[in-house]
Structure 1
Amino acid sequence: MEWLNYHHLLYFWTAAKEGSITSAARTLNLSQPALSTQIRQLEASLGERLFEKSGRGLRLTSAGQTAFRYAEEIFSLGSEFQHQLKGHPTGRALQLVAGVSDVLPKLMVHRLLQPALELGEPLRLACREAPLPRLLDALQTHEIDIVLSDAPWTPRSGARAYNHVLGESGVELFGTPALAERHPGLFPGGLNGAPLLLPSPGNALRRSLDAWFERNAVVPLIVGEFDDTALLETFGAQGLGFFAAPAAISQEVARTYGVRSLGSLDGVRERTYAVSAERKLVHPAVLAILRAAKEEIFP
């Protein structure tokens, strides 16, 4: 049985990604002649030329393109394997590093992550909050295990990730009792001229809210726009304006911020996603999050 030399395959894969022997040798901390020799040995074992000259760089042959696709999958799976084992360190608590999109309501994040803390085994949870693009970059380098977001990952050059829909919820409008008393008109017409706190333009929920106001001929007074949902809700708790939140956490929002729901925004829906670098999820904490989301939070 012939065995593939994975060191040689790694050298080839690096050279293909870097586009030149010089750059790959620098990345691998090898001399250029040594690297070229290793790649030639791989070509000899496969019986195929993998590279051809293209100016000062290299270009993959047809066989090289096939080899590169397999190498991508092989080293991706190897990284996945190592990453999963790191989630089960011997004699230590299970570790979960969760990336949290800064537009997700913190009460929603808490509900989503809570099942991971109830596994019955010690868990060390780390949360990293940042804009979604930054979190996805960290996911690709396996700095985090899962990303919680209001938007799915979309394909980008050289990157790969998998979306898992946790669930979908309606959206309600909230405000303090005192604020609601100052705007007693029928919902939603009574919102005309009422102070409103909104997510920043470009946010998925913001686009849905703007469309809802237009459909219902409502012209509120926008008194604040926020990147961070927690800050928006904190201002809302002070009675500075009405704000929207997922119906799935309606009770938690009312209890935590001392507000009440004015009503549901018909046609406005919010999806919540978990984004992973792996096709098949095996981390027990992540599996607990997905299971509880589908069965309890978004039944």
Structure 2
Amino acid sequence: MAIQTISAQVRLLESSIGHQLLKPSGRTVVLTDAGRAVFLRADEIFLLGSRIPEEAAAAATGPSVRLSVGLSDGIAKLAAHRLLQPVLATSGLKLICHDGELEQLMAELALHKLDLVLACQPPPHNSSFRLSSERLVASRVDWYGPVALVSDQKIAEFPQSLKDLPILAPTYHAALRERMDRWLENLGIQAQIVGEFEDSALLSIFSAQGMGVFPVTELGSADLVNIQSLKLLGCSDGLNEEIYGIYSSRSKNHPLVRKILNI
């Protein structure tokens, strides 16, 4: 499309809404405050429009239910699966999961690109996104490790035995990491951190290969019992991980979101 055509369309839109959308900035132009507001709304409109072919095709083949969930960096994927379990048997379900930074996921939720965000913390009180949250679970943290490292003696001496074991830890993207550090410090344990992982599933794989012991929420540990090379070292007293479901006023009305939030 020619630049002249675009300029004419912008002027026509400005005339229609009664506000200037662009302003000069050096040798180029930038969005005004009104322009930014229109851009955000237009982005939402284009997103809805892009879904029309997909939703029309789905309607032609049978009823479907779309659920878009954002998984914040640091959240245990095994735990996320457990929290989504109540809706996974929904007839015609189309589940879409995205990983990302919490701030970005909240922005997408506010723009209705997502229906729900699972995170290890609620939205900040000073957030401009006007989102709400429900605490879904406060899960105890268990410790697992490779059979070669988790001896009967190490189990009996837990948690003090952690001072003698290599530890695989989540990165500081996860809220659990800071709580884990404080918990170990309160016990007087100087941790031997030999690896840090953003992905909890990847962390468990490295542990299963003998690299070290690692913390996992009780909610996610249920899926580890089938990994024969991993063994329970101990259960933490006073160390928990909280998971929140974050939603917008619009997505709160989604039937599957309400089922997950139990509201």
**TM-score category by the smaller chain?**
0.7 to 0.9
Instruction: Report the equivalent of 1:222.
Output: 193
1:97-128 per-position Cα deviation (integer Å, ceiling 9, x unaligned): 11112311121121122221223x21111111
SS in 1 for 2:63: coil
User: Is the counterpart of residue 134 in structure 1 residue 104 in structure 2?
Assistant: yes
Which has a greater percent of helix? 1
Instruction: Report the equivalent of 2:166.
Output: 195
Instruction: Report the equivalent of 2:246.
Output: 275
Aligned partner letter, 2:247? S
Q: Given that residues 76 and 220 in structure 2 are in contact (C-alpha distance below 8 angstroms), is that contact kept between their aligned partners in structure 1?
A: no
User: Is the counterpart of residue 173 in structure 1 residue 143 in structure 2?
Assistant: yes
Instruction: Report the equivalent of 1:251.
Output: 222
Q: Write the distance in 1 (CA, Å) between the matches of 2:260 and 2:232.
A: 27
- Tell me: CA distance 1:271–1:157, structure 2 relative to 1, closer, same or farther (3 Å): closer
State which of 5, 24, 34 in structure 1 corresponds to 2:15: 34
Instruction: Report the equivalent of 2:68.
Output: 97
Which has a greater percent of strand? 2
Which stretches in structure 2 are left out of the alignment for 5+ residues? 1-6, 20-31, 34-40
Q: Write the distance in 1 (CA, Å) between the matches of 2:144 and 2:218.
A: 10
Aligned partner letter, 2:164? G
CA displacement at 1:269 relative to structure 2: 1.4
State which of 213, 217, 231 in structure 2 corresponds to 1:260: 231
Q: Write the distance in 1 (CA, Å) between the matches of 2:113 and 2:104.
A: 11
- Tell me: CA distance 1:94–1:147, structure 2 relative to 1, closer, same or farther (3 Å): same
Instruction: Report the equivalent of 2:80.
Output: 109
Q: Write the distance in 2 (CA, Å) between the matches of 1:242 and 1:215.
A: 19
Q: TM-score normalised to the size of structure 1? A: 0.66
Aligned partner letter, 2:103? P
Aligned partner letter, 1:230? A
Aligned residue pair count: 231
User: Is the counterpart of residue 238 in structure 1 residue 206 in structure 2?
Assistant: no
CA displacement at 1:158 relative to structure 2: 3.8
Q: TM-score normalised to the size of structure 2? A: 0.74
Q: Given that residues 73 and 173 in structure 2 are in contact (C-alpha distance below 8 angstroms), is that contact kept between their aligned partners in structure 1?
A: no
- Tell me: CA distance 1:175–1:157, structure 2 relative to 1, closer, same or farther (3 Å): closer
User: Is the counterpart of residue 149 in structure 1 residue 119 in structure 2?
Assistant: yes
SS in 1 for 2:106: helix
Instruction: Report the equivalent of 1:211.
Output: 182
State which of 152, 177, 186 in structure 1 corresponds to 2:157: 186
Q: Given that residues 99 and 130 in structure 1 are in contact (C-alpha distance below 8 angstroms), is that contact kept between their aligned partners in structure 2?
A: yes
- Tell me: CA distance 1:205–1:158, structure 2 relative to 1, closer, same or farther (3 Å): closer
- Tell me: CA distance 1:253–1:192, structure 2 relative to 1, closer, same or farther (3 Å): same
- Tell me: CA distance 1:221–1:158, structure 2 relative to 1, closer, same or farther (3 Å): closer
Structure 1 stretches of 4+ with a deviation exceeding 4 A read 30-33, 86-91
SS in 2 for 1:118: coil
Aligned partner letter, 2:134? H
Q: Given that residues 107 and 253 in structure 1 are in contact (C-alpha distance below 8 angstroms), is that contact kept between their aligned partners in structure 2?
A: no
SS in 1 for 2:151: helix
Q: Given that residues 251 and 257 in structure 2 are in contact (C-alpha distance below 8 angstroms), is that contact kept between their aligned partners in structure 1?
A: no
Aligned partner letter, 1:251? A
1:180-201 per-position Cα deviation (integer Å, ceiling 9, x unaligned): 1297361122221310001113
Q: Write the distance in 2 (CA, Å) between the matches of 1:30 and 1:127.
A: 39
Q: Given that residues 234 and 257 in structure 1 are in contact (C-alpha distance below 8 angstroms), is that contact kept between their aligned partners in structure 2?
A: no
Q: Given that residues 208 and 230 in structure 2 are in contact (C-alpha distance below 8 angstroms), is that contact kept between their aligned partners in structure 1?
A: yes
Q: Given that residues 72 and 117 in structure 2 are in contact (C-alpha distance below 8 angstroms), is that contact kept between their aligned partners in structure 1?
A: yes
Q: Given that residues 138 and 241 in structure 2 are in contact (C-alpha distance below 8 angstroms), is that contact kept between their aligned partners in structure 1?
A: yes
Q: What's the RMSD between the two structures over aligned residues?
A: 3.6
Which stretches in structure 1 are left out of the alignment for 5+ residues? 1-25, 40-57, 60-74, 295-299
